[in-house]
Chain A
Amino acid sequence: MGPRRYGSGAELTAWVYGNGAGMQSYGDESRPLAALSLPSRIVIGVAACAVAVIVAIHLAMMFLHVAPQNTLSKQQGSLISDYVYPEYEQNWKLFAPNPLQQNVAVQVRAQVRAEDGSSRTTDWTDLTARDGRAILHNPLPSHTEQNQLRRGWELFVNSHNAQGRPIGTRGELAERYIRRIVMFRMQGEWTAAGGRVERIQVRSRTAAVSPPPWSTEKISDKPVYRVQPWWQITSADLPEGANSQ
Chain B
Amino acid sequence: MTSPTPQQPRSTSQPTHTTEPTDVSQQAHAPHAPQAPAAPPALYEETRIERAIGRLFGRATGRALAPYQTAVIRIGFSATWLLFLLREWPHRLTLYGPDSPWSLDMARRLLDANHAFSMLLWSDGRGWFECVYLMAVASSAALLLGWRTRTMSVLFMLGVISLQNRSVFIGDGGDNVIHLMSMYLVLTRCGQVWSLDARRAKRARAAAEAEAAAAGEEAGGEALDGAQTAAHMPGAGRGRDLTGIVLWAVLGLALAVAQLTGSYALLWFDNGPFPHIGWSLVLWGLWAAHALWWAVQRYAPGEPRTVLDTLTKLAHNGALLVIMVEVCLVYSTAGWYKIQGSRWQDGTAVYYPMHLDYFSPWPALSQLLGSNGLMVMLITYGTVIVQVAFPFTLFNRRLKNVLLVIMICEHLSIAFLLGLPFFSLAMIAADAVFLPTNFLTWVSARVSGLRERLFPRAVPAGPDGGPGGGEPPARTDHGGGGHTLVG
Residues of chain A touching chain B, judged by Cβ–Cβ distance below 8 Å, are: 4-8, 11-12, 14-16, 18-22, 24-31, 33-34, 36-37, 40-41, 43-45, 47-48, 51-52, 54-55, 58-59, 62-63, 66-67, 82-83, 85-101, 103, 105, 128-129, 131-132, 135-144, 146-148, 150-152, 155, 169-170, 173, 176-177, 180-181, 183-184, 209-215, 236, 239, 241-243, 245
Return B304 CB to nearest CB of chain A, in Å: 8
Verify B421–A139 contact, CB threshold 8 A: yes
With A36-B306, A66-B333 known to touch, is A177 a contact of B61 (CB < 8 Å)? no
Task: Let me know if B358 and A92 touch, CB within 8 A.
Answer: no
Residue numbers in B under 8 Å from A131 (CB-CB): 357-358
Smallest CB-CB separation from A210: which chain B residue?
Answer: B355
Q: Once the chains bind, are B373 and A212 in contact (CB under 8 Å)?
A: yes
- Given A90-B176, A99-B343, A146-B419, A27:B329 Cβ within 8 A: no
A66–B311 touching, CB < 8 Å:
no
Measured between beta carbons, the chain B residues less than 8 angstroms from A144 are: 88, 91, 94-95, 170
Question: CA–CA, A82 to B94, complex, Å?
Answer: 31
Assess the A180–B5 pair: CB atoms within 8 A: no
User: Would you list the 6 A-B pairs with minimal beta carbon distance, nearest first?
Assistant: A6-B474, A22-B2, A97-B341, A4-B220, A86-B116, A96-B337
Contact assessment for B301 and A151 in the assembled complex, using a CB-CB cutoff below 8 Å:
no
Which B residues touch A6, using CB under 8 A?
A: 472, 474-475, 477
Quick one: given A4-B218, A15-B7, A137-B361, are A209 and B356 in contact (CB under 8 Å)? yes
With A94-B173, A142-B87, A144-B91 known as contacts, the answer to whether A33 contacts B310 (CB < 8 A) is: yes
Known: A6-B475, A29-B306, A40-B307. Contact between A24 and B416, CB under 8 A?
Answer: no
- Residue pair B322, A55 in contact (C-beta under 8 Å): yes
Task: Evaluate whether A44 and B173 lie within 8 angstroms (CB atoms) in the complex, with A15-B8, A96-B344 already known.
Answer: no
Question: How far is it, in angstroms, between the C-alpha of A55 and the C-alpha of B38 when the chains are bound?
Answer: 34
Chain B min CB distance to A174 (Å):
9
Contact A31 B303 (CB under 8 A): yes
B263 within 8 A of A: no
B104 interface hit (Cβ, 8 Å) = yes
- Additional 5 contacts, C-beta under 8 A, given A24-B5, A54-B274, A103-B357: A14-B7, A99-B352, A138-B419, A143-B170, A212-B371
Among B107-115, B432-440, B451-459, the stretch that binds chain A is B107-115
B445 within 8 A of A: no
**With A18-B7, A26-B63: A44-B361 Cβ-Cβ less than 8 Å:** no
- Is B14 engaged at the interface, CB distance under 8 Å to the other chain? yes
Interface residues in B303-321 by Cβ distance below 8 A to A read 303, 305-307, 309-311, 314-315, 317-318, 321
Q: Is the CB of B101 within 8 A of A245?
A: no
Can you list 20 residue pairs at the A/B interface with Cβ under 8 Å? A8-B14, A15-B11, A22-B3, A26-B7, A27-B478, A29-B63, A30-B305, A40-B303, A40-B307, A86-B115, A93-B334, A96-B337, A97-B338, A98-B342, A146-B358, A147-B170, A148-B95, A151-B170, A169-B110, A243-B98
Specify the chain B residue showing the minimal Cβ separation from A22.
B2
CB-CB under 8 A for A28 and B222, given A6-B474, A44-B310: yes
Asked if A97 contacts B333 (CB within 8 A), the reply is no
Are A135 and B334 in touch, CB under 8 angstroms?
no
Pick from B1, B106, B223: contact of A45, CB below 8 A: B1
Interface pair B62/A26, CB less than 8 Å apart: yes
**From B306, B322, B339, contact of A58 by CB (8 A):** B322
The verdict on B330 contacting chain A, using a C-beta distance below 8 Å, is: yes
Chain A, Cβ-Cβ closest to B157: A87
State whether A140 touches B421 (Cβ < 8 A).
Answer: yes
B285 sits at the interface (CB 8 A) = no
Residues A33 and B61 in contact in the complex (CB < 8 Å), given A20-B39, A44-B310: yes
| CB of B128 closer than 8 Å to a CB of A | no
Q: Which chain B residue has the least Cβ–Cβ distance from A11?
A: B11
Cα distance, A31 to B305, chains bound together (Å): 9
Q: How far is the CA of A128 from the CA of B183 in the complex (A)?
A: 34
Beyond A20-B38, A22-B2, A97-B338, whether A30 also contacts B221 by CB under 8 A is yes
- Closest-by-CB residue of B relative to A4 is B220
Q: Assess the B219–A4 pair: CB atoms within 8 A.
A: yes
Give the most central of B100, B124, B301, B472: most A CB within 10 Å.
B100
- Determine whether the beta carbon of B303 is less than 8 Å from that of A239: no
Chain A residues within an 8 Å CB radius of B179: 87
B351 proximal to A (CB < 8 A): yes
Specify which chain B residues have a CB less than 8 angstroms from the CB of A34 in the assembled complex.
1-2
* CB atoms of A177 and B38 under 8 A apart: no
Which residues of the other chain, B, contact A101 by a CB distance below 8 angstroms? 343, 352
B122 at the interface (CB under 8 A from A): no
**Cβ of A5: which chain B residues have Cβ within 8 Å of it?**
220, 474
A8 CA / B170 CA spacing, docked (Å)? 51
Question: Please, which residues of chain B bring their CB within 8 A of the CB of A63?
Answer: 329
Whether B20 sits at the interface, judged by CB under 8 Å, is no
Closest to B364 in A: A137
> In the complex, are the beta carbons of B321 and A55 less than 8 A apart?
yes
Establish whether residues B477 and A8, one from each chain, have CB atoms under 8 Å apart when the complex forms.
Answer: yes
B305 — which chain A residues lie within 8 A by C-beta?
30
Please tell me if the beta carbons of A43 and B307 are within 8 angstroms of each other in the complex.
yes
Q: Point out the residues of chain A lying under 8 angstroms from B14, CB to CB.
A: 8, 11
Bound-state CA distance A151–B4 (Å) is: 54
A142 CB contact (under 8 Å) in B91, B169, B317, B358: B91
Whether B275 contacts A83 by the Cβ 8 Å rule is yes
A87 near B333 with CB under 8 A, answer: no
A87 touches B358 (CB 8 A): no
Distance between A185 CB and nearest chain B CB, rounded to angstroms: 9
Which of B104, B301, B477 has a CB less than 8 Å from the CB of A11?
Answer: B477
For residue B325, CB closer than 8 A to chain A, the reply is: yes
B382 within 8 A of A: no
> In the complex, what's the smallest C-beta–C-beta distance from B45 to chain A, in angstroms?
10
Docked complex Cα distance between A238 and B365 (Å): 40
With A4-B220, A143-B95, A212-B376 in contact, do A135 and B38 touch (Cβ < 8 Å)? no
Closest chain B residue to A178, Cβ basis: B101
Chain B residues 211-228 with CB under 8 Å of chain A are 218-223
Among A15, A141, A150, A151, the residue within 8 A (CB) of B5 is A15
Q: Once bound together, how far apart are the Cα atoms of A125 and B441, in whole Å?
A: 55
Nearest CB in chain A: distance from B133 CB, A: 14
The answer to whether A14 touches B39, judged by C-beta atoms less than 8 angstroms apart, is no
Cross-chain contact B170 with A148 (CB below 8 angstroms): yes
Q: How far is the CA of A81 from the CA of B348 in the complex (A)?
A: 35
Instruction: Give chain A nearest CB distance to B162 CB in angstroms.
Output: 12
Q: Does B19 interact with chain A (Cβ within 8 Å)?
A: no
Contact B7 A135 (CB under 8 A): no
Distance in angstroms from B125 CB to nearest chain A CB is 10
Give the shortest distance, in Å, between A103 (CB) and chain B (any CB): 5
